[in-house]
Structure 1
Amino acid sequence: MVNFNGRLLSENDTFFNHGNRAFKYGDALFETLKVVNGKIFFFEDHYFRLMASMRILRMEIPMELTMEFLGEEIKKTLEANGLLDAAARIRLTVFRRQGGFYVPETNDVSWVMDVSPVANLFYQLDEATYRIELFKDYFVNADMLSNLKTTNKIIHVVAGIFTQENEYQNCLLLNQKKQVVEAINGNVFLVFGDEVITPPLEDGCLNGIIRRKLIENLGHSQEFKITERSISPFELQKADEVFITNVISGIIPVTHYRKKSYGIDFTKKMIGRLNALARLT
């Protein structure tokens, strides 16, 4: 079952047509949330990121689209799919209603919510081999629109195909200045001794929720220093550890980049902190 504007529908029901602006122009935003036994991880952060993104794209925010309303709709959707007492992934997509060409006829929005099960109740560290490479065919724009979680993800799609064809587990995307921006499915961090580095939003990376939480947490740490700065691809060969973050997997340790092998000591320490942060939300 999917939830379209508050109505539960079968996955086989037709609820928008060829005029849909998300389909025609990528005129849409989405949030991916992890829910465990009805508890939405980092829900407030997701909600306010969505609201801020809608304002940037000049979408009209409906009065009823409150945090409380969305929370109830998420639980309703989980219950309809038998996942209220399980671990699940929720995808909420908000799109401008159809009409117009590049310039819309209205800024009013519709939304659709779908759900699928995930394996782990909490974040776990996967120590399996995880190889990455640079994707250099196309580049991410270093601007505010790249910070948003829009449905314009064609670079990520093509990079994903490249990754699959070459038997890597992931690829890192670059901006026009050839700086490391992010992975296909999350933000990237490098560890050099007691310093942890991640690209700044100005370089074009996604304003990720887990990225934000780790920056906040490490900002209060006496053991590690967090720095937001541009990253050259050459630094990948010098780093002690590299890891990728997203809200479903949490922290994904990278084990290999070309001939370089990485440790996972820092990542092991952070996975416990991340689970503690998730429980507090």
Structure 2
Amino acid sequence: MQTHFNRAFKYGDGLFETIRVRQGKILFLEKHFARLSKGLSTLQMQDSQKPLSLNNFQEILQDFLSKQSDANLRIRITFFRKGGGLYTPNETDYDYYIEGSPLCQEAFELNIDGLRLGCCTTVQLPIDQLSNLKTTSALPYVLAALEKKAKAWQDCLILNSKGAIAESIAANVFVVKNQKIYTPDLNEGCIAGVMRQNVIEIAEEMKMVLEQGTLVWKDVLEADEIWLTNSIRGIQWVSQVEGRSNILTNKRAKRLITRLNQKVEAKL
């Protein structure tokens, strides 16, 4: 892959999926494919010879996995537009690049020690047709991560252009308050997370009351539990928040991650 011809490198003209593999099996394949398909359509990228289907997406991933020695992996597949052009592309066809790294844990594990969480003041996230996609344009998250590092947090929440909570650096956010679970709506500028979707489905199955809407920092300061979710780590709980002294709990997080692992094991 020559970076000086790569439009993802030059213009951020691409998107990616980060996928967890357990015992050689791809987790949540259909959900990843659905998000990828929407992203390719939004960016007007397509393979003119062989349009991407669920089956050939799976074949691409399985071919990569057949060459790996580890059964439990984090893989990232990046799709980028082929061809030249400046801001105006010459082509709609895409190519892809896959990389993988081994995971120590087979199942999803709740973190033993809760995370320390802050609020990003360096950058805000826009709300537009790209907000829900995992594009290769990641500078807001890089700046947020630099602030997190400087302030010795383990993650931080990023606000949208309206000043409401969108997500964290690499995860969706859930807040438990007064026996009810809240998470930012997709209209608030967050990534349409695969694990976010799974947690919503599991919470509904378990008859937990869940609402998608607008969250502000005051909700975080008043929360009983806070979780960060993504497809690699599953559910991670927050114990400390900048600006509040009391420690949060993880009672519901434990129940949800247990049920998540049960559902995954049932499909292996």
Normalized against structure 1, the TM-score is what?
Answer: 0.90
Question: Once superposed, which parts of structure 1, at least 4 consecutive aligned residues long, lie more than 6 Å away?
Answer: none
Between the aligned partners of 1:79 and 1:33, the Cα distance in structure 2 is: 16
Match of 2:31 among 39, 45, 48: 45
Between the aligned partners of 1:48 and 1:57, the Cα distance in structure 2 is: 14
- Aligned residue for 1:248? 232
The gaps in structure 1 that reach 5 residues or longer are 1-14
Checking the alignment, whether the CA contact within 8 Å between 1:54 and 1:61 is kept in structure 2 is no
3-state secondary structure, aligned to 2:264: helix
Checking the alignment, whether the CA contact within 8 Å between 1:173 and 1:182 is kept in structure 2 is yes
Match of 1:274 among 253, 260, 264: 260
RMSD, aligned α-carbons: 1.4
- Aligned residue for 2:169? 184
Checking the alignment, whether the CA contact within 8 Å between 1:237 and 1:260 is kept in structure 2 is no
1:91-135 CA distance string (max 9 Å, x none): 010000131111100111001111110111110111214101000
Match of 1:106 among 80, 86, 91: 91
Checking the alignment, whether the CA contact within 8 Å between 1:51 and 1:61 is kept in structure 2 is no
- Aligned residue for 2:126? 141
1:70 shift after superposition: 2.6
Pairing 1:25–2:11 present? yes
1:273 shift after superposition: 1.3
Number of equivalent positions: 264
- Aligned residue for 1:82? 69
> Percent identity of the aligned residues?
33
Between the aligned partners of 1:280 and 1:210, the Cα distance in structure 2 is: 17
Residue correspondence of structure 1 range 187-198 to structure 2 within 5 A:
187-198=172-183
1:280 shift after superposition: 4.4
Pairing 1:200–2:154 present? no
- Aligned residue for 1:219? 204
Between the aligned partners of 1:54 and 1:68, the Cα distance in structure 2 is: 16
- Aligned residue for 2:57? 70
1:47-74 CA distance string (max 9 Å, x none): 1110111001111145253322232332
- Aligned residue for 1:4? none
Between the aligned partners of 2:158 and 2:16, the Cα distance in structure 1 is: 20
